[in-house]
Amino acid sequence: MKNIFCYVLALFLMAFQVAYSQELDSNKNPGKGRLMIEPTLELVNRDFGKGSFLGYAYQLGIGYNLRINARIGGYPGIGLYTLNQSASVLENNFLGGIFEDARFKESGVLIYHTFHLHRRFMVSPELGFGLLQLIHGESPSRFILNYNRLFGGLGLSYVLIKDKNGVYDVNLIVRGGYGGLNGSEIIINQSDRSYVRRATDIQGSLGIQISFH
């Protein structure tokens, strides 16, 4: 996991350095100064670190993520997101075999900056904070685990369609991210606290973004 993290960080730094040098050329920064609203729908694959309860107890399916970003061209922006993902519960001592499946529901906020490598290629580093609910069963007998998640990521975008009137673009988005989770409010015996309360995750996603400007 440490090797993967180092690789992602190195990729992030190299992409940031290249993108920043390109940003200095105003000819490769279309839309500078314009307000842009950017809704995005993504399919998400997620993998938790194996040395944690989250990595051991769940088999995750493909999830979906809805984002709404807002920025002024050439400046950092802010985004809101909500992510939903289903999972099968694997055999484990903590849940006692009561549940067969679970739902991951996460929402949060992020800051990001979009740099143009070319008029059709962009790169967007981001940092964010989210609240993750891990829901088992249905009301009134459902069981919920709550986690905070701090993450960093990098998105690569390609403009598929440019509106001839300059009103919108349609972009293909590929994104990767690494996060740390903390469930400090989860009540568990002291010997299992670190194992249950803490985890890391890697996410990859593919989606479509519409950029209105």
| 185-199: average pLDDT | 90
| 91-112: average pLDDT | 90
* Cα 172 from Cα 174, distance rounded (Å): 7
**126-169 pLDDT per residue, tens:** 999 999 999 998 877 789 999 999 999 999 999 999 888 888 99
* Cα 82 from Cα 63, distance rounded (Å): 11
Residue 208 pLDDT more than 80?
yes
Within 13 Å, how many C-alpha atoms sit on residue 79's CB side?
Answer: 27
| 91-103: average pLDDT | 85
Element holding 54 (H helix, E strand): helix 53-57
* Model confidence, pTM: 0.82
Residue 2 pLDDT more than 50?
no
**17-73 pLDDT per residue, tens:** 444 444 444 445 566 778 999 999 999 999 999 889 999 999 999 999 999 999 998
pLDDT for residue 28: 53
